[in-house]
Structure formats: C-alpha cells, structure tokens
Structure 1
Amino acid sequence: MTGVLLFQLVLFLPLAAPSQGHHHGPKSRLRYSRFLDSSNVLFLRWDFDLEAEVITFELKVRTAGWVGLGVTNRYTNVGADLVVGGVLPNGNVYFSDQHLVDEDTLQEDGSQDAELQGLTEDAVYTTMRFSRPFRSCDPHDQDITSDTVRVLAAYGQDDTPKLDREHIFVKSIFLLQIIHPDDLQVPEDTIIHDLELTNFLIPEDDTTYACTFLPLPIVSKKHHIHKFEPKLISHNETMVHHILVYACGNASILPTGTSDCYGADPAFSLCSQVIVGWAVGGLSYQFPDDVGISLGTPLDPQWIRLEIHYSNFHNLPGIYDSSGIRLYYSPQLRRYDMGVLQLGFFTFPIHFIPPGAQSFMSYGLCKTEKFEEINGAPVPDIQVYGYLLHTHLAGRALKAVQYRNGSELRTICKDDSYDFNLQETRDLPARVEIKPGDELLVECHYQTLDRDSLTFGGPSTINEMCLIFLFYYPRNNISSCMGYPDIVSVAHELGEEASDSMEGMMAMNNVEWTPENIKKAEKACKEAQQTVIIKTIDEVVENTTGWIPDIAPTSRGPCLESTGGKVEPQDKTPAGFRAATPVTLSGTSTIAPRTLPLATLLITQGALSWLLVTQARDWP
C-alpha cells in the first residue's frame, strides 16, 4: 500500500506555484447547491451548459487536506470516478482525474477529462472548482445524465490522497435541473395556506395511510396556486413517506375526522385526482410562470383529501404528527390552469414481481381515445411540462413512452438510476404535446435479488407500485389512466390452472421462480391483453383494452474527446466522439425487505371487484 501511495503522489504533479488563493478559469455564479453530508462539512455548487454538454462543479470542504468529487453507481464505489485535488504547504496545487480500482485504492485515468478552474485553501476550507463533459470518451468516467446521479465526495486531513470510509459520502442528486427557482416569478401578494393533520398519533404499525378532508382557501375571485412545499415535523421526517393532496368533486359527500385511507370505511378513499404531492427526498416545487392550480371558480374543487403515508418500521409508540402541505397562492393569474394525469400499472395484487430477479419489467398502458367521451367535453391537446416518478424499494428505473398511430413517438420522461429516497417533481427540458388517440406506456424495472417471496402491488412500502404523474395544461377532468395484464393468461403461460383473476393471482405462489420462469413471466405479462382503467375527478370509471407496444432501445449520444491524456481506439464507442471545446458558463444561462403475502393483501385491500373501483391508493 505504501508503494501505491508513493506512486499516486508522483502522479499529482504541481499545476501552479503561486500562493494559496490563485484561481484558474472564470468565477461565474453556479446556480445550484447542496450539502453532501449531514454534518455540513462538504458543500457542492454546480451548473451546466446543456448545448455544450459540460458541467462545472465547485466542492468546498472543511479540511486542509485533499478533496475529491465524482460519480458512482448504486451498488458499489468500485469503478467510480473521482477528480482529486488540493493545495500543498508550499502553495502549489495538485489535481488529477482518477478512478477507484477497489474500495481503498485510487488510480489516475489515462485520459484527463476534468479541467481545473480553481483550487484554494484557507484556514478553514479547501475549495476545488473544475469542469468536465457530461460524457467523455474515457470508460473510467461515469456519465452525467438527466437521470438521478449518485455524487461521490471524499476528503482527507492531509495531502496524501488515501481513502477513508468515514470521509466518503454518496448523495443522489438530479443534477440537470432545467428550471431554477430563482429564475421564476414570486408574486408580491402571495398568500400562504397550510393543509395539515393536527396532533395525529402515528400507529405502531409498519405502514399507515392517514386521510382527512379539508377545505381549500375561500376566495372572492380566481387565484392561482404557484408553489407548494412539505410541512414536516423535524422528529418525524424519516417516518413521513409521502403527502398527497387530491381534489374532490364538488358533488362528493365527504366524511369527517381522520381515518385509514384504505380501511373499513371506503369514504376515506374518495377523491382520486392528485393536484400536488410530495414524496421522500423531495423539496419545494414552484410551477413555471405560465401555469398554476386554479382556485375560486365554479369549476374548481372546494375540498381536498389530504393523505399522509407513514412508515413506522421501528414501531415507535406515542409519536404525534402535524405534517402537511403548504400552498402559496396569489390573485396574479397565470395563463394556464394545470392538471395532473396519473399513469402506470394499476396498483393491486395482480401486479406481481418474482423473487430473486436480477431484472423484471412491468408495464401499464394508457389509451387516450376515450378521454373526450369520459371527460364530457372536448379535450384539448395536453401540454406536459413536468413529472414525478414512483416505485417502492425494488424499483430501479422508470420511463413513460408516447405512441401515435401505432408508432413510437418519444420517451416523455425517464430515470434509469431511480432512487427511492429521492422522489421529486422535475421539469421537462421541452414541453411535450399529447393528442387525443395517443397511447402512453409506463415501463418499470425492478430487482428483487434480496427477496425470497413474491412482491405484490399494494400501498405498503414493502409492496410495489409503478406510477408516473404528468403535470400538464390545460386541465381536464381525467384523473388517471392505468393498465394491468390478463393474469389468467399469464398463469396459463406459466403452466398453472386459473379460471378467474383471483385464481390467477394465487397461482403465482405455485411457480418455481427460476431465472427461466422469471423471464417467461415477464414476457407473458407484456404479451397479455391489458385492461385500461380511466377515471375522472368525479369518480366516473371507464374501461377499455389494449396491447403493450415495443419500446425501441435508446443509444448513448456521442462522447467528448479529452484535450488531455490519451483515449485508446478500443475506448471509442460506436456512437462516435468529438473534441472538447472550452466552455465558459454564464451565471444567467438557462440550461432485504419483507413483503406482505398475497393472502394478507387480499384481506387488507378487500375484494378484487372493490379494488377495481376504489383505486385511489395508486400512489407511492
């Protein structure tokens, strides 16, 4: 190990002789920032240029030693890239593009793809600023994508770059945010309104869905909600899994009090059109300047259902909670009234995922051809501007794909590196138009290597979901459009007898889940006819059928050839590569868990026919 460290120190050639405080490159404002650790020792700023495909990072660490920043994956830090730098006692700086060959050892890349812009050290902090391409042609560099990115940061107490696991931190971040809140308008006459539970005693159960019905603000003229954020009690933050606000039809007869959303009283599951929602890891969200949630007109809901999902896995007693959602609204009107369309796999036990699966895909189909009929009025083209993705712990990736006239049109949104602990509303880089007659397909990718029994769809965190929420304008009355496969035909393909859906679900317990049968089940679910359930804000339900279309594979884009170091010919990918060009960023540029058995699920969720009608639970 001593030899390795000496070799590494030789690699860190001094880049500059001036005293501490010398800077390389521009010092433009970096718009985004985040602490990377709970003790606020590591502070990251970043910004990017979407057109040039270059990102700039600035890492500030409370240390007089070396600092490092890079990207890793969800399973291991081995192979992660790490840009390392620091300031020597004589004032010279060292800087190098490296990667982890194992958990404890760094090695310099043959191609140096990070460009130093500044390295300083003072009495408290070492600060390193550099830029790098989203995708270099060096196989040792991880890509920066529009997916969730797992940012790896490390540091030492001296100038010997030795990895110490106590000083290594990984944080999931959506780096390529399109809209920054500072770029959005904040009306001066903003009014705040809280929708919250009051001193709710959290049950000593693993999972609780608590629901209550609350009035929206009473206003004398039309207003728009332009922002929302979670209102969390500090000691309960880790227990609150999600908070949802559902709009209620004005003809609904609503119960009083607080009760189990999906328990004995079905009235507490009324109202299924999501208008705002927060899930674990998310922050506040501000709508684009031209859209908002309408308040105060005869067409607007007067009441909402507030749903809070608690995960009390330690079964702690005596904990009271008053969490909720804070709304910001104003009489300054936006151009469009927004809506939310819920897509995905209809959440109930017909959704199953085999144990021991390295990979298993589930699909939920939406057919919009009946939207106008069930809406009760013509449905204008839908303009999608944002989205929220959701699975539970087995989820690894999601995507929503659009089809028109039988042909794949585009992927609307996706995350190939989904993290259950980072669920947030995200903006699209460009608005997507959905026309009546289009088909929308949600694909969810799961992994269950840590499970030895079937995972069924259900509300608990230890069950699964496959949902995507599209934020769009102008609003209509459709609240959800989701599908599920013919489970009887799936059972027959797996060699099991079944004459109805209940027997089909039970038959899944009889299958020996070998890798071959896992793939056979995935294929059978994809090729089975789908039932598509469309629902309105007034609880009107309409069914249709369809078939899962194929999804064309997406290829990686071109890589940027480094201006330093060497990329071997075998490292150049078929997608091609291009030379990097210097980029100056402008400060104003816009750029093993348990699973509930099937019998328990069927008892707790009620009869299958009841589930088909009251499917409002289809959320995180």
Structure 2
Amino acid sequence: MTCALLFVLSLVLALAAPSQGHGLGPKSRLRYSRFLGPSNVILLRWDFDLETEIITFELQVRTTGWVGLGVTNRYTFVGSDLVVGGVLPDGHVYFSDQHLVDEDTLQEDGSQDAELQGLKEDGVYTTLRFSRPFRSCDPHDQDITVDTVRVLAAYGLDDTLKLDQERIFVKSIFLLQIFHPDDLKVPEDTIIHDLEIVDFLIPEDDTTYACTFLPLPIVSKKHHIYKFEPKLTPHNETVVHHILLYACGNASVLPTGINDCYGADPAFSLCSQVIAGWAVGGTSYQFPDDVGISIGTPLDPQWIRLEIHYSNFRNLPGLYDSSGIRVYYTSQLRKYDVGVLQLGFFTFPIHFIPPGAESFMSYGLCKTEKFEEMNRAPVPDIQVYAYLLHTHLAGRALQAVQYRNGTQLRTICKDDSYDFNLQETRDLPARLEIKPGDELLVECHYETLDRDSITFGGPSTINEMCLIFLFYYPRNNISSCHGYPDIISVAHELGEEVSDPMEGMMAMSSVEWTPENIKKAEKACKEAQQTVLIKTIDELVENTTGWIPDIIPTPRGPCLESSGGKVEPQDKTPADSRAAPMPLSSSTAASLRCLPLTALLCMQGALSRILGTLQTGF
C-alpha cells in the first residue's frame, strides 16, 4: 500500500485548481447525462460552451479508488487520452492529464490541459469534475468535435493507477448537442399518437423490411407534430434496426395489411417522403420551437407508410413485434412547416465497395436545378437546421458538401467517426441556406478489411447505404435527390468488357481486388458521369446528369494553449493557436460475409423494371 501511495503522490496534485472562464463553474448544472457502464456503475454528466470551446465533464463512479475519463478511437486504446483523479485515504486528492502508451500503461502528459473543478469521495462514490478545451495544443489530447466521440471511462478499486480491462468502458456519444429537451417548449395541449405495427411475427430471416400504411391523426384544423420517439417492443431492441415514417401523396392508392416493403408487390414501396425516423442508438427528437410537421390541412399528407427494418441475424423464432413511432402534436402552431430531403447514393447494387479496402469513398450527387419544375410551384430557399446520417456496418465517415456556381460553399454536416450503433437526428449549430441551382454532394467513407467478397448497395445490414437526411423549412414536394455513377464506364476502367448496367454490376464480382484496383475503382467511380434521380412526394421521378466536384477539406480551428505544466517539444503551439481564457475564479478540490450479388438481385424484385430506366431515363 505504501508503494502505491508514493506512486500516486508522484502525480500532479491539484488541490485548488483554477477553473476556465467559460461560465460552467464547480456548481453549475450540467445539462447532459449518460450511463457508461452496466448496472449504472458509471454516470457521466457534461456541458459545453461553443464560444470559448470549453467542455466540462463530471464523472461519478461507484468506487473508492481512482477514476478516469477521456477519449479513444475506433480501433485501439493505445494513444487514448485519460484524465484521472481520486482521493487518498488521508483526504488529499490527486489529478492528472494522462494518455495510454499501450493497452495497460498510463503516462502523464507533459502539457496538463485539464482543469480540476471538484473531486470528492463519500465512501460509496468518487466524483470527478473537470474542464478541458475542445482542442488543446497537446497531441496526446484527442479533439472534442461535432463528430461522434468515443468516450472512455475507467476506474480502479483502490488508488493504484493500474488499468483493468474489466473496468474500462467505451461508449459513443454525440457530445456537442445543440438543444436539450429541457430547453424546448412543451405545449400544454399536447396529444400523443402511436403509429405502430401490431403483433407482427418477425420472420426467421437475416433481413426483413415490413411495411404497412396508417392514417395520421385526424384533426379538424392545422396542428403541428413537434416531437417523435421510438416505441420499441421490450426485448426486441436488438432486432429492430430502423423505423421510418414516409408521407404519402393524397392521390396515392394504398394497399392494406403488412407486407415486404420491397418485394413482389410494388404498392408497398409507395411513398418516399421521409418525415420522421429512428435508427440504432437513437432516442427521441424534439424539433426547435419554431418548426413542426404540419397535419390537418388539405396540403398535408393524410397517410404514412410505416417501415420497420428487422435484422434477425440469430434467426430467432416466435418473435412478435408491435414497434413503431410515437408522435406528439399540438394545436399551438409553429412558424415553419418541416420538410425532409434525402440525399446520397441511390440504394442499388450499382453501389459497390471492394473487399479488403482500408479506405473506399463513394459519392452521390444532387442537382437542385429541377426542383422548382418538379415542385410545380416556386421553391423558396431551403433553411436546413438538422440532419441524420446513415450507412451500414462498413461506414466510417460521411459528409454533405454544398456548391454554388461551381464553387464549394460549405460543409453542411459531417461525422469523421461515424458509429453504426449511434444514429440520431442532430441539430446544426447554425441554420444553413440552400438556393435553387445549388449542388449537394454526399461523400461516404468505407472500410472493408474484414471482408473477402464485394459489398453491394442494398437493404440488408450486410449490404451498404450512403444516405443523409436534411431537415429543413419551408416544406416543398421534393422527397429525394440521389446520384450514382455510370457503371459501364467504371467497368471499362477496370478492364471489364460490358455493354449494359446489369453486366457492369456482375463484372464487379470478377475483378481481382488488389490495393491498386481498389484505388482505380474509387477513382473511376468519382470521375464517371453521375445520373441524378429526383423524386417528389407524389412519386414523380426525373433525372439529370452531372460530375463529382472536388472537395476542399475544411481546416481545423485553432487550439488552446496549455494553462499549466511543461510543454514537450512535440507540443509546441501552432501559429494559429490562441491563448486560453483567463481564469475567472478558483475552485476548491472537493466476419461478416456479404450476400452474393445474385442473391441481392433476387431480393430486389423490381430490378428489371429499374434497369430499363437506367439507360432511357425516368
């Protein structure tokens, strides 16, 4: 025990560490919280200041030993940063900014960039509260960004700083949430309505898309839906992959019952205007106070298509499901009516990702020049305020980029650390404007080192998608705008002789996927002419063509200089750094195998009909 205490005391002791000047002091309420470990052993609270780029964490762990919190990456704990602290038996505290040099060893950073705000132990829990910059000038500190962040929490049973794999937990969290539900209005006349499937027997298949058509709430005057949340049948959470609500045009003739969404009966794939959705890892979503989904007027949809994707990979029998989406609506009207625009790569086997790829980029182009013609009315500028990203298991990053008059204007949204198990609607920090004539490009980054056969675009979780949903106002009638490359020219670049799209897709399975051919295929897909498919809520479809523009990377913002501690040679402050805010006060220490192409094509019953249009246009 004596050696352990001496080791701990050799760390940096922070007995009265100053807090950063960011308005979140030792006693400020932290708006966000999440349990990180099983049985509620680890509770994380946090909050942040976007202006000063400082985030504050509070970690409460059921232990009387040391606790630690930091950030890691997808592949390894090595290099993870970890801020650690604890209370010694004599009441003294220790606190230090560290990093993992290997899976088991911690080392103190030369630059101490975390500021202690409080540290206490009450015999049951140890509670650590500290702040840190989003981006420090220390290469050992991983950035806090608008991406998914893999939060690493660890603790010990005593004050010996030794890592134990059984007491290390990682959870993906979107830390920089703009709105908290407590900050948004809840109308007094709220009405709840469930749009759900009833006692559906989930097939013993890997993938099932079940669809049914349901009426929206019947109201005598205009109302707004202002919130939605998943309604999952208990114990089916691991089987339900996503739930989507599609608005139906009022002229649609809709089928009854429950059927395969994309099977033999094409009527069950009608309605493509997404209005709300949930996917793995998501929770509820409440719209900002000035927007909502309009219902109850002659221009509003009266019916929706409820789509539930089941991934029953263990082929479990006898599972009945009554999941769906719960909506909250009110007669207290908001200023704007919500619309949703679906962008990305057209989901179809023309989308392919080679096996064994450390990195492979796919692109889907949208050109808005035909929006007004297809809307059959003027299209006001689109004001985007939120987004939802979606790929399947090979996805590693996504972004949507906006162009105007041939020049890159901005990155609309992105996530360089995408996690399939955390798909949620996210608010933008500022609303963005899209004007008629703008081009929108979706880029998806994939990694398939664990796969030995090609991955095709398709509905199954072991196929792939590349989609971004933009939530905007005021609503128009455009539901989706997807792109895909000329697969014939791609095949020719890979040395395959083909004459039609079907042959082009089939040829991808015969390519020898060396690293050189993977890069050649990526380049060919990016440089091939893209067909852009635009669809309206009334199922009107038109196409146009375009070319993938280059993406200019967005530079990282400045880092914040260390507020204390030695700066190592590699920690030198870059020229664009800025000083940290002056302290305002001090605180007391207190092997997937993908479906073969032939099986995938069989699964998509409408293949021949769609292929016929690929050459002639819709």
Q: Could you tell me the TM-score, scaled by structure 2's length?
A: 0.95
Q: Would you say the 8 A contact 1:97–1:112 is kept in 2?
A: yes
Distance (Å, rounded) in 2 between the aligned partners of 1:32 and 1:146: 15
Letter in structure 2 aligned against 1:604: M
- Give matches, 1:228-307, under 5 Å: 228-307=228-307
Deviation at 1:17, TM superposition (A): 9.7
Report the equivalent of 1:16. 15
Letter in structure 1 aligned against 2:551: I
Distance (Å, rounded) in 1 between the aligned partners of 2:207 and 2:613: 19
Deviation at 1:593, TM superposition (A): 1.1
Letter in structure 1 aligned against 2:96: S
Structure 2 gaps, min length 5: 18-23, 586-590
Distance (Å, rounded) in 2 between the aligned partners of 1:184 and 1:614: 46
User: Are positions 1:410 and 2:405 aligned together?
Assistant: no
SS in 2 for 1:578: coil
Distance (Å, rounded) in 1 between the aligned partners of 2:6 and 2:526: 53
Distance 1:430-1:505 versus aligned 2 partners, 3 A rule: same
Cα deviations by residue, 1:479-518 (Å, 9 ceiling, x for unpaired): 0000000000000001110111001111111111111110
Distance (Å, rounded) in 1 between the aligned partners of 2:241 and 2:172: 17
Distance (Å, rounded) in 2 between the aligned partners of 1:594 and 1:499: 29
Deviation at 1:6, TM superposition (A): 7.8
Distance 1:607-1:128 versus aligned 2 partners, 3 A rule: same
Deviation at 1:583, TM superposition (A): 6.0
SS in 2 for 1:464: coil
SS in 1 for 2:292: strand
Deviation at 1:613, TM superposition (A): 9.5
Letter in structure 1 aligned against 2:231: K
Q: Could you tell me the TM-score, scaled by structure 1's length?
A: 0.95
User: Are positions 1:133 and 2:133 aligned together?
Assistant: yes
User: Are positions 1:441 and 2:441 aligned together?
Assistant: yes
Letter in structure 1 aligned against 2:232: L
Deviation at 1:601, TM superposition (A): 1.0
Distance 1:580-1:611 versus aligned 2 partners, 3 A rule: same
Deviation at 1:374, TM superposition (A): 0.7
Letter in structure 1 aligned against 2:505: M
Q: Indicate the percent of aligned positions where both proteins have the same amino acid.
A: 84
Range with bigger deviation, 479-488 or 28-37: 28-37
Distance (Å, rounded) in 1 between the aligned partners of 2:583 and 2:30: 14
Q: Would you say the 8 A contact 2:14–2:116 is kept in 1?
A: no
Distance 1:98-1:614 versus aligned 2 partners, 3 A rule: farther
Cα deviations by residue, 1:189-227 (Å, 9 ceiling, x for unpaired): 000000001111111001110100001110010000000
Distance (Å, rounded) in 2 between the aligned partners of 1:5 and 1:529: 65
Report the equivalent of 1:610. 609
Report the equivalent of 2:373. 373
| Root mean square deviation, CA, Å | 1.9
Report the equivalent of 2:178. 178
Report the equivalent of 2:593. 594
- Give matches, 1:14-93, under 5 Å: 14-16=13-15, 26-93=26-93
SS in 1 for 2:235: helix
Letter in structure 2 aligned against 1:113: D
Report the equivalent of 1:153. 153
Report the equivalent of 2:122. 122
Distance (Å, rounded) in 1 between the aligned partners of 2:364 and 2:171: 30
Report the equivalent of 1:498. 498
SS in 1 for 2:420: coil
Q: Would you say the 8 A contact 2:5–2:160 is kept in 1?
A: no
Report the equivalent of 2:428. 428
Distance 1:123-1:386 versus aligned 2 partners, 3 A rule: same
Cα deviations by residue, 1:165-193 (Å, 9 ceiling, x for unpaired): 11000000000011111111110000000
Cα deviations by residue, 1:504-551 (Å, 9 ceiling, x for unpaired): 111111111111110000000000000000000000000000000000
Q: Would you say the 8 A contact 2:344–2:363 is kept in 1?
A: yes
Structure 1 gaps, min length 5: 19-23, 586-591, 616-620
Cα deviations by residue, 1:28-59 (Å, 9 ceiling, x for unpaired): 11111111123110000001111111100000
SS in 1 for 2:602: helix
Deviation at 1:552, TM superposition (A): 0.2
Cα deviations by residue, 1:556-586 (Å, 9 ceiling, x for unpaired): 211111111122344336563222124679x
Distance 1:582-1:29 versus aligned 2 partners, 3 A rule: farther
Question: Aligned pair count?
Answer: 603
Deviation at 1:610, TM superposition (A): 2.9
Distance (Å, rounded) in 2 between the aligned partners of 1:583 and 1:275: 46
- Give matches, 1:321-470, under 5 Å: 321-470=321-470
SS in 2 for 1:506: helix
Letter in structure 2 aligned against 1:531: T
Q: Would you say the 8 A contact 2:148–2:173 is kept in 1?
A: yes
SS in 1 for 2:297: coil
Deviation at 1:594, TM superposition (A): 1.6
Distance (Å, rounded) in 2 between the aligned partners of 1:431 and 1:415: 18
Deviation at 1:5, TM superposition (A): 6.7
Cα deviations by residue, 1:287-340 (Å, 9 ceiling, x for unpaired): 010000001000011110000001111000001110000000000000001100
